[in-house]
A = this chain, B = another copy of it.
């Protein structure tokens, strides 16, 4: 009697963006644990299986139910939307496993099954806002001091990361996104493009393209992701492009390499300054 625990990222919500590996994990489980709205999203896969649903802020209970059942020998899947390891149930599951002195020796096999996280799902609906280096910052202060959240926003702004904000605001919590906007405006142009994608790939999906100086006037809540471009990002046909940098090295019209640059070699910055 050796249990299994699959920690499954179901992706943004549409079954068409859920991987075969995730579907197989759920199919193999005899007990599926998750937040009620996420269980509803995968209900076509649950026929006849025992499930345990619980609400928001009940993550510790949910993880404990799953871990205890697996340690007791059951085949368990615990689901998260998006990726299972990023702002999801994965970290909590492993913290509980550590506390219960679980051994990584296949007696109780624990498997993380990755999924498409909100940053990638939401970005795909508005062009390519995350084309270069980027970061994700959760604005929820339920578990993270606001001082640390602000420090991260400041650093991301200084380093010119494109940024995806998770949990950007809730009915109770409306100040954080205004603070983020204020910090970013110190470092980025007011016209920096911003996308707000709510309920990506779900029936109630909504998309808003705005700019740094105005986006906080838009309506959105906890289920949205807010993506802020970097200094090179631009709006094009109601989409956001964050270039990877090919135009520094190549003539995009002809595909030929620019003078002073070499294919497969470091970008020649001296030459770049001459040309720009």
Contacts and interface: CB of A to CB of B under 8 A. Distances in A.
Interface of A: 9, 11, 14-21, 24, 56-57, 59-61, 64, 83-88, 90-99, 102-104, 112-117, 120-121, 123-125, 127-138, 141-148, 151-152, 154-156, 158-161, 172-173, 236-239, 241-250, 252-253, 255, 263-267, 269, 272
Contacts of A245: 143-144
A264 B120 CA distance: 27
A138 to B, nearest CB: 6
Nearest to A92: B246
A17 B155 contact: no
Given A124-B112, A138-B133, A19 B21 contact: no
Give 4 closest A-B pairs by Cβ, nearest first: A91-B131, A155-B159, A143-B245, A135-B135
A264 B143 CA distance: 10
A19, A59, A104, A267: most-surrounded residue (chain B CB, <10 A): A19
**Max count, chain B CB within 10 A of own CB: residue among A14, A16, A116, A146:** A116
A128 B91 CA distance: 6
Contacts of A146: 266
Nearest to A101: B237
Contact of A266 (B136, B141, B159, B241): B141
A113 B116 CA distance: 11
Given A116-B114, A159-B152, A267-B142, A94 B241 contact: yes
Nearest to A123: B85
A124 B85 contact: yes
A139 to B, nearest CB: 10
A84 B124 contact: yes
Contacts of A173: 266
A94 B232 CA distance: 14
A37 to B, nearest CB: 16
Nearest to A173: B266
A57 B155 contact: no
B161 A85 contact: no
Given A90-B131, A124-B84, A127-B94, A151 B159 contact: yes
10 contacts: A9-B124, A20-B20, A83-B116, A83-B124, A87-B131, A95-B241, A116-B120, A144-B267, A146-B266, A151-B158
A265 B140 CA distance: 10
Contact of A19 (B18, B132, B265, B267): B18
